Structure 1
Amino acid sequence: MSETLLVAEGLTRVLAGEVPVTLVADVDLRIGAGEFVVIRGPSGSGKSSLLYLLGLLDRPTSGRLLLDGEDTSTYDEDQLAGARLRKLGFVFQFHFLLPDFSNLDNVLMPMRRLGRLDRDAQHERALGLLRDLGLAGHERKRPSQLSGGQRQRVAIARALANEPVLLLADEPTGALDTKASANVRDILRELAHDRRCGIIAVSHDPDFASAADRHVELLDGRIVA
């Protein structure tokens, strides 16, 4: 069995109010190293809400989440931010690259925040990631000078900058054409299988989902398959 990277136990998220709304209900889930998992379900089923809980972007109302063997339920906001920076990478439907910076600088930013590597090592790693993702020669360009698929690959390079144990993706191909979508899909599958990074992705795209090792089906915030 693969090394377990993430364990969710009874994860529940309820929005308080006059009529409480349950976004995620009693989810138990394990994600292993090298595993590519796609979360599926109809609109409003809680897919993104679950992903944000798994990515420490939101706190559960009850239940707990173990990340790389650490119980995050007692973490304060600074500890959550530190865990996201050290151990998690994020890719969203829109790349959210900073338009006034080069592609290289966009990839360097998480490494500069973390400060784990010296300046030369940061540049070497960022250049290597962009090269590995087929972006050699585009390092000094700005995001606006790239195609949509290329920008998403820069976003993937940025997500990998600090060598996360898990990469979380929310509709990463939703704004891309068929060819670029297939390219992003294949990159994520390779990251899981060749680099042993755990991948958790939300997607409506059946072609994207077909590359996954496992599907998690949600309905009304609950895992049904």
Structure 2
Amino acid sequence: MVTEHVHSRTDRRLHTEEKIISAAADLFLELGYKTTTVRGIAKRAEVSVGRVMAAGDKDVLLVRCYDLWIGQLQSGTHVLPTRTRTQSGAAASARAGAAPPARTGARPTATSAVQNHLLEIFLPFLEFFAGHEDLSRDYAAALMRVVGKPQVFEMLAADLQDKLSSSLVSIGISTAYAQASASALYDSYLGILFRWAASDMGLDEATEALSHSIAFHTQLRRPV
């Protein structure tokens, strides 16, 4: 009986936290980080201000929202807006930069196919950042202030690196080197996002920078 009561209370707490994160996510996207208030989140979630603060301050809530969005992007459950012409052009130019263009009538090499696949894995994250640049800059700053280990550096990082590693192994790179390259690509991706957050870099430049990193890690032959 006591165990059932504890489980019930835990379930209610988790449900309330989900409502808070959902409300915070909606408001951050609608209003931005600076305009969103804890009181506004509490009102949207229909809970007390104290309950919101128990889940975390604005920095913590923003980081948790990005964990949620990144997880959805990785699983393919987050629906991105239709790519703009500029974004589509950036993706196309990046793909062209990631691998030499094939001769007319020639079949693309396995390496170039994997380069394109790796870039496509990263593009949703870059496009999300581009679609919410101000909020993403606030997120980068919040990561520096929040104490703890956001999922983006743990479970979400491991899942994404597994995808990258599998693609690298598929072109003949040994498992050990593929895992090391996947980790380096992930770090490159994070570094590009932080650089983007601290400068006037745009989607085209960020995509091109990541393409160069992908090209390096896929063109360099590894001993098996």
User: TM-score scaled to structure 1, two decimals?
Assistant: 0.34
User: TM-score scaled to structure 2, two decimals?
Assistant: 0.35
Higher RCO, 1 or 2 (CA under 8 Å, sep at least 6)? 1
The structure where helix makes up a greater share of residues is 2
The structure where strand makes up a greater share of residues is 1
